[in-house]
Amino acid sequence: MRFSRALNVVDAHAEGESGKVVVGGVGKVPGQSLFEKMRYFEEHHDQLRKLLLQEPRGAMWHNANIVLPSNDPRADMGYVILESTEYPVMSGSNTMCVATVLLETGMLPMTEPVTHLTLESPAGLIRVECECADGKVRQVKLVNQPAFVYHHFADLDVDGLGRVTVDIAYGGMTFVFADAESLGFKLDVSEEAALCELGQRLKRAAVRQLDVSHPENPLIPGITNTVFTGPLHHERDEDGTELIRSRNATVVSPGRIDRSPCGTGTSARLAVLHAKGLLQPGQLFRHESLIGSRFDARIESTTTVGPYDAVVPSISGRAWITSFNQLVLDPTDPFQHGFVVGRPWEPEL
């Protein structure tokens, strides 16, 4: 049997969110930076994303990452992130999957109790600190590129709902933030379908009514996700550490719940909370997903991005390898580039 493509894929998840890690079979990719390599896939080779993420090999809730060498002498490795409808320049859950796979498969050397990595994402360099024991990565802490707020307390006219006040913020992806309680949500998993439907409606309204453009790179995608935020709870950890805990439901395109608390959404939420005076640098913020998994986050420092005040977020979470998979493409397979069926794959916007 001759195959037209064979990819070595390590399947993983971070706090419940899928992240396939392609470790072999892609070959040479043009471009100096990982951003340029990402653009190459986007413009000339999008069939690889579709092959990995669409049916019959993928599912709407899958993400994938292509591990590639970085040309930056400071970086240990690079990666391009592939999602259902876009190429985000950064992703928290995917970065945790990539770091865990690189260390647990021996692609990069693991040092116990802590391994420091620098990974080049399309958004830039990401510093990663992995707690390791007995050959296992127990916790991945990543320091994201700066997050900032585009619009505070913006009024949106939403079809069938009227006026809703939202914030729009960037944390590697761009999010609409809306208060869950005032929209009638308890943030229970039973509300999944309604959250996805309204999340898409809010996102569509925001794209039409509010301008966003990343000041350092206008090619970074605009608003593609909605975060429904729960109330803030001021608590103490089992070991007495003070923290602020909050639940969220992140609706990523094309309209499905992020199973993890969403690392880029958490980064953007830190920027929103800081701008509102509700979170200070160094304070522990524990973000919970709709399935109850969690990321611990902090504002490491403050900075600016173009005209915006910004925060440098760190996000910690855990990832696990679930399978080793050799994905092949038979040249007689009629579905060379994958396919999609029905809801929620409606045309975007």
Ligand X SMILES: O=C(O)C1NCC[C@@H]1O
Q: Which residues are catalytic?
A: 91, 262
Judged by the rule CB under 6 A, the positions of this chain that interact with ligand X are 17, 63, 88, 91-94, 173, 252, 258, 260, 262-264
Give the count of alpha carbons within 13 A of 342, CB side only. Answer: 0
Q: Measured from the CB of residue 86, what is the shortest distance to ligand X in angstroms? A: 9
Q: What is the DSSP letter of 343?
A: T
- The span from the CA of 269 to the CA of 266, in Å, is 5
- The span from the CA of 198 to the CA of 155, in Å, is 16
User: What element of type H or E holds 304?
Assistant: strand 294-305
Q: Measured from the CB of residue 94, what is the shortest distance to ligand X in angstroms? A: 6
User: Measured from the CB atom, is 81 or 184 closer to ligand X?
Assistant: 81
Contacts for 292 with CB less than 8 Å, ≥ 6 apart: none
User: Measured from the CB atom, is 25 or 50 closer to ligand X?
Assistant: 50
Tokens of residue 150, six digits: 């585009």
- The span from the CA of 136 to the CA of 231, in Å, is 34
Structural contact between residues 57 and 51, judged by C-beta atoms closer than 8 angstroms:
yes
Q: Measured from the CB of residue 230, what is the shortest distance to ligand X in angstroms? A: 17
User: Measured from the CB atom, is 19 or 230 closer to ligand X?
Assistant: 19
- The span from the CA of 186 to the CA of 228, in Å, is 10
Q: Measured from the CB of residue 259, what is the shortest distance to ligand X in angstroms? A: 8
User: Measured from the CB atom, is 166 or 252 closer to ligand X?
Assistant: 252
